[in-house]
Amino acid sequence: MTRPIRLARPLWESIIKRDLEIDLGRAGDLTTDATIPADACTTASVIARAGGRIAGIQIACAAFTMLDRQVDVTLHYDDGDDAETGTVLATVSGPARPVLTAERTALNMLGHLSGIATATCDVVRLVEGTGVRIAETRKTTPGLRVLEKYAVRCGGGSNHRYGLDDAAMIKDNHIAVAGSIGSAIEAVRRNVGHLVSIEIEVDNLDQLEEVMQHQIDVVLLDNMTTDELLVAVAMIDGRAIAEASGGITPDTARAIAETGVDVLSMGWLTHSAPNLDVALDVVF
């Protein structure tokens, strides 16, 4: 895979700062401050307790240096790398208090993002050879969308739209209020810039037939069977990107990909992917 470009610090710094503030509360780390001398130093290893695709290692480890610039972090793995069980992903050394205080913030972020990357990687491998792209949706954790979509890229997936402002997506409720598929498409076409892609969601082949009478960039084929998808792809015939969505799982991804659609969008990649098990072990 092509390794993703690391996210610029302004995109994630405030998120780590916020998480540290939540953990520190009003009085700081009562346990660490009471048990660890202020001048104590330590070295600890960030370890993958399970194998998977790594995402967010630099972002997560910034929690240590954000508390104390004297903490030194050495990364042994980068985002987009695959790590086996027991792998040392990073070494953290320096003042002991900030290392222990930032532990949970760092591990929460690393485990969450690596879990998304691992789940994405697994699905990408399942559909290998079909030419299908795997994407997430906007079903993301509030406040973490940029990071979760980055994790999908680390897993070899592609990103769907980031928000309501970077692409137009006409859904059933838009059509219901606008009055018809045609009126909704034409209204969007009149009101968005020439660089904005327009996607429309359809639930059945009758809707698709009507949609294909208009100029459209992407058609979202929602909750269709594989037989319906085969017909839908033939109807679209390359005139628009065919995106399958709705309840797609690793068990069904390959069969859906083989219908000839271009994209599989899977909300569970961000809202339900299990965390990758990671830990911080003090060496001395």
Residues 116-128: tens digit of each pLDDT: 999 999 999 999 9
Q: Is 122 helix (H, G, I), strand (E, B) or coil?
A: helix
What does the alpha-carbon distance between residue 254 and residue 225 come to, in Å, rounded to a whole number? 13
pLDDT of residue 2: 54
In this prediction, residue 4 carries a pLDDT of 55
Q: How many residues does the chain have?
A: 284
Helix (H) or strand (E) holding 201: strand 198-202
For the chain, what are the domain ranges? 9-118+273-282, 122-271
**Going by CATH, does the domain composed of 122-271 fall within 3.40.50.880?**
no
Whether residue 282 contacts residue 42, with contact meaning beta carbons closer than 8 Å, is answered with yes
Residues 121, 125, 128, 134: is their CA dihedral positive or negative?
A: negative
Tell me the three state secondary structure of residue 263: strand
Residue 157: per-residue pLDDT: 97
Q: What is the pLDDT of residues 83-124, one digit of tens each?
A: 999 999 999 999 999 999 999 999 999 999 999 999 999 999
In 3D space, the residue among 162, 184, 164 whose CA is nearest the CA of residue 172 turns out to be 184
Q: Which residues are known catalytic residues?
A: 104, 139, 171, 201, 222
Nearest-angstrom CA–CA distance, 144 and 164: 16
Contact (Cβ atoms closer than 8 angstroms) between residue 127 and residue 257? yes
- Distance separating alpha carbons of residues 271 and 284, to the nearest angstrom: 37
- The whole-angstrom separation of Cα 171 and Cα 281 is 48
Neighbours of 84 (CB within 10 A): 9
Please answer whether residues 264 and 248 qualify as being in contact, where contact means their C-beta atoms are separated by less than 8 angstroms: yes
Residue type, 70: Q
Q: What is the bridge-based pairing of β-strands 72-75 and 88-95?
A: antiparallel
Domain 9-118+273-282 falls in which CATH fold? Aldehyde Oxidoreductase; domain 3 (3.90.1170)
Give residue 6's pLDDT: 85
What whole-number distance in Å separates Cα of residue 252 and Cα of residue 128? 14
One fold for both 9-118+273-282 and 122-271? no
Residues of the chain with pLDDT under 70: 1-5
- Residue 275's Cβ-count burial label (10 Å; 0-12, 13-18, 19+) is middle
DSSP track, 76-89: SS-TT-EE-TT-EE
164: enclosing H helix or E strand: none
